[in-house]
């Protein structure tokens, strides 16, 4: 038979692992399906936050992400166990073909025993999911009239609590007078600054975040900059003024879905305002 020694059917000298490697390829394809599923769940969860849907629905998406992350971790362990078993047999070349299934199970259990129930939280997509939800929730806090009720309500509560104390009351009045307009300008300016790409100096349409330093850029602009630098055998530095990250790689960039949605929401409201 092709792939085996004719003199000894139990010898591993000419054993073929093509069938096992084909199965591994299928498992890796399944991994990409898990990744797509996590992307879908993340998108739905962001939709729920953006539309301020009840918390229980968001919680269901969080649970789904946990299940996907655990599935991905377990599948990674199994793939590693199979690959390790194949490499071991190829290197050792035992006289008799060992029980591959048993070897894989032992290696798989060893990997599982080394991991904890919380290891799934290191899954890159799960981490991104939690960060994106947090960012979008921040952006979705809508004050009364133009997104600023939190600051003004706090000032109002401060004033009320100091009623009856003349000196503190006067001080609170001065604080309100001096900061009311500044607070509004700062919030609007900060929001607009977050929307601007440090490369193009234009509002971003497809923002990507640098996992290393946390800064965001227009995807096309940063990719073009990195490629240009690499063609000249140079490192690409983060274009954000003051950033010390001096070696941006393509693998450092992730889609900033929360910021993209925040920009779109901001623009929709701007266009809805009466002239």
pLDDT, greater one: 224 or 5: 224
Count CB-CB contacts under 10 A for residue 195: 19
| pLDDT, average across residues 150-173 | 46
DSSP E strand boundaries for 103-211: 207-210
Helix (H, G, I), strand (E, B) or coil at 229: helix
Work out the percent of the chain whose per-residue pLDDT is above 90: 26
How confident is residue 141, by pLDDT bands cut at 50, 70 and 90?
A: low
Per-residue pLDDT at 7 exceeds 70: no
**pLDDT tens digits, one per residue of 80-134:** 998 888 888 888 777 777 788 898 899 999 988 888 767 777 888 888 888 888 8
Per-residue pLDDT at 68 exceeds 50: yes
The whole-number pLDDT of residue 47 equals 83
Per-residue pLDDT at 147 exceeds 60: no
The whole-number pLDDT of residue 204 equals 94
> Residues, the chain, total?
275
**Is there a contact between 72 and 41 (Cβ–Cβ < 8 Å)?**
no
List 253's β-bridge partners, or say none: 210
Count CB-CB contacts under 10 A for residue 243: 16
Cβ neighbours of residue 203 under 8 Å, at least 6 residues apart? 195, 196, 197, 263
């Amino acid at each position: 038979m092709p792939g085996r020694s004719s003199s000894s059917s139990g010898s591993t000298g000419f054993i073929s692992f093509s069938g096992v490697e084909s199965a591994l390829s299928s498992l890796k394809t399944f991994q990409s399906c898990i990744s797509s599923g996590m992307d879908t769940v993340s998108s739905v969860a962001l939709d729920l936050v953006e539309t301020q849907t009840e918390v229980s629905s968001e919680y269901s998406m969080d649970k789904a992400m946990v299940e996907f992350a655990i599935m991905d971790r377990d599948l990674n362990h199994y793939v590693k166990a199979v690959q390790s078993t194949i490499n071991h047999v190829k290197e050792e070349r035992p006289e008799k073909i060992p029980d591959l299934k048993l070897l894989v199970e032992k290696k798989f259990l060893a990997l599982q025993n080394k991991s904890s129930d919380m290891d799934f939280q290191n899954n890159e997509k799960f981490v991104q999911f939690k960060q994106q939800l947090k960012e979008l929730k921040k952006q979705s806090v809508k004050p009364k009239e133009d997104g600023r009720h939190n600051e003004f309500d706090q000032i109002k509560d401060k004033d009320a609590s100091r009623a009856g104390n003349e000196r503190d009351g006067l001080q609170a009045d001065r604080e309100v007078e001096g900061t009311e307009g500044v607070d509004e300008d700062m919030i609007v300016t900060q929001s607009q600054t977050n929307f601007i790409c440090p490369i193009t100096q234009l509002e971003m349409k497809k923002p990507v975040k640098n996992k290393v330093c946390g800064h965001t850029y227009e995807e096309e602009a940063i990719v073009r900059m990195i490629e240009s630098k690499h063609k000249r055998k140079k490192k690409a530095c983060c274009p954000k003024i003051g950033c010390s990250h001096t070696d941006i790689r393509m693998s450092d960039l992730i889609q900033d879905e929360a910021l993209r949605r925040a920009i779109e929401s901001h623009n929709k409201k701007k266009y809805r305002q009466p002239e």
